[in-house]
């Protein structure tokens, strides 16, 4: 998958994986990898800055903990994040409809 295809679509995906359970960064990476069937293998240089951005924006809240001698920063969805996730989903639906309307207009074959 091309790099910039992701642009603008990553945020709602991150919010989605922490919707029902708070996760730390590494676990978020794994969750994305699993939910995408192995396609979404984010480099740390993408994920961690994104998480900080989302926290700064108020969509995520984080908390440090130590598990098995390793420090974890666990993120959970805020109420603003919940709204943002809902918005992101409907924006995705709209975007998808636009792309498909252009790529495969009614009556097109291939």
**Residues near a second copy (CB under 8 A):** 1-9, 12-13, 16-17, 32, 35-37, 39-40, 86, 88-89, 91-92, 94-99, 101-105, 110
52 belongs to the binding site for DNA (CB under 7 A):
yes
Size of the site for DNA (CB under 7 A): 31
CB contact at 8 A, 22 and 74: yes
CA dihedral 82→84→89→94, nearest 10 degrees, is 160
Q: Are strands 23-24 and 70-77 parallel, antiparallel or unpaired?
A: antiparallel
**Which among DNA, a second copy, none contacts residue 94 (Cβ within 5 to 8 A by kind)?**
a second copy
Name which of 86 and 98 has its Cβ closer to DNA: 98
CB contact at 8 A, 15 and 80: no
Name which of 65 and 96 has its Cβ closer to a second copy: 96
Residue appearing with tokens 């709209």: 94
CB of 86 to DNA, least distance (A): 18
């Amino acid at each position: 998958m091309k790099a910039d295809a992701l642009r603008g679509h990553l945020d709602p995906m991150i919010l989605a994986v922490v919707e029902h359970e708070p996760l730390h960064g590494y676990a978020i990476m794994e969750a994305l990898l699993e939910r995408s069937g192995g396609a979404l293998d984010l480099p740390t240089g993408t994920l961690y800055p994104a998480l900080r951005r989302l926290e700064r924006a108020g969509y995520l809240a984080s908390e440090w903990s130590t598990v098995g001698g390793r420090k974890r920063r666990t993120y959970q969805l805020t109420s603003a994040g919940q709204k943002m996730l809902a918005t992101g989903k409907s924006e995705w639906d709209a975007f998808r409809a636009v792309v498909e309307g252009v790529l495969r207009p009614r009556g097109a074959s291939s």
